[in-house]
Amino acid sequence: MSAVGEKVVVLGKYELGRLLGRGSFAKVYLARELSTGEAVAIKVLDKALVGGDPPMAAQIAREASVMRLVRHPHVVHLREILATKSKIFFVMEFVPGGELFALLAAGRLPEPAARRFFRQLFSAVAFCHSRGVAHRDIKPENLLLSAAGDLKVSDFGLAALPAQRRRDGLLHTRCGTPAYVAPEVLRTKGYDGAAADLWSCGVVLFALLAGFLPFQDENLMNMYRKVFKAEFRVPPWVSPGAARLVRRLLVPDPAARITARELALDPWLADQDEAPPPPPVPVPVPAPVPDLNAFELITAAAAGLDLSGLFEEGGRRRRVYTWRRAAAEVLDRVEAAGRRRELAVKRGGGRIRLEGGEGGLAVTAEVFVAAPLLAVAELRQSAGDLAEFAELCDDLVCAAAAG
């Protein structure tokens, strides 16, 4: 893994290799176990940064607790957690096949392949639910493929444990990705995390079979109306059995939605017309998504949701988030994120200008007040490295999810 003459960094029984990615609080390295040569991924977190942000520290602790609970063949495995005086190390299974999103971006899958992936997804999600864990952000970007082409559920940053339920036994934090989130999560009342996960699984199944999402609209408010009414049309090439299962999953009333027990007995899911694992595919550049204006986001009132998944190129340089916080507090968090990255900060008139960094980053953040405790933060990048902008936004996503 190390070149001749290159300094070797050893962490216990692991040799660290190349950098796979970085965020505001962590870096992820490819590494190998010295005794076996097996590849692993190691997430390295700076204790000083994490300790200075209590919500982020709580989220990391919760994610570690969740991943220890959900050891399953189709869940990315957390092998162990190591620590020094200044760092925390998450040693995880290395999943080299990329995201399921890459396959979907190339078009719909043959039905046997869709069934294979959905069976693996349901197996993992049902196991999580049996342990009291709701994932709350099931989408193709969080479903990875192993070298053998098997599905692995990842990213438990928004997952909920039983302790997060209120006295009514329900969850109340609005979170997830708009196109995949269940209608009950968008409402002000509580929701059952397991039932909401099954809705998201239904959206993934539809996308696997159809090659596109069931709820799409240029106007965000119209898209939510379609979600609330479960207004979608199954394409004619989908078999009757698969179409029936999609319709049983995408039911707006969670009490009438198919349960995990019923899903396990579904005839289409039990069909043994199995497909071979797909070959690895390159990740294509996402297609543009129509632009949305801030007023449409405000009228959607999707508090607590990360809406940045709706914006791709011409939109990867623009990110939008909703917050259940006062506008001043949102600006404080944006400013804190910039200062953590040692960016110059200019603030005034409900806006913040962040400049600096290795790539000459320039970002303007503006906050719109939608209600006394509902604000919409819009970040626009005008210069600098796109990856550095994404890292800054990752910092805010973590803050939003933890807050």
| 3-state DSSP assignment of residue 62 | helix
DSSP-assigned beta bridge partners for residue 351: 348, 366
Q: Can you tell me which residue has the tokens 């509580």?
A: 190
Q: How far is the C-alpha of 276 from the C-alpha of 303, rounded, in Å?
A: 41
3-state secondary structure the chain: CCCCCCCCEEECCEEEEEEEEECCCEEEEEEEECCCCCEEEEEEEEHHHHHCCHHHHHHHHHHHHHHHHCCCCCECCEEEEEECCCEEEEEEECCCCCEHHHHHHCCCCCHHHHHHHHHHHHHHHHHHHHCCCECCCCCHHHEEECCCCCEEECCCCCCECHHHCCCCCCECCCCCCCCCCCHHHHCCCCECHHHHHHHHHHHHHHHHHHCCCCCCCCCHHHHHHHHHHCCCCCCCCCCHHHHHHHHHHCCCCCCCCCCHHHHHCCHHHHCCCCCCCCCCCCCCCCCCCCCCCHHHHHHHCCCCCECHHHCCCCCCCEEEEEECCCHHHHHHHHHHHHHHCCCEEEEECCEEEEEECCCCEEEEEEEEEEECCEEEEEEEEEECCHHHHHHHHHHHHHHHHHC
Q: How far is the C-alpha of 242 from the C-alpha of 227, rounded, in Å?
A: 20
Active-site residue, from 46, 53, 137, 150:
137
Answer yes or no: 137 catalytic.
yes
Name the residue among 72, 195, 211 with its Cα closest to residue 138.
195
Residues annotated catalytic, as ranges: 137
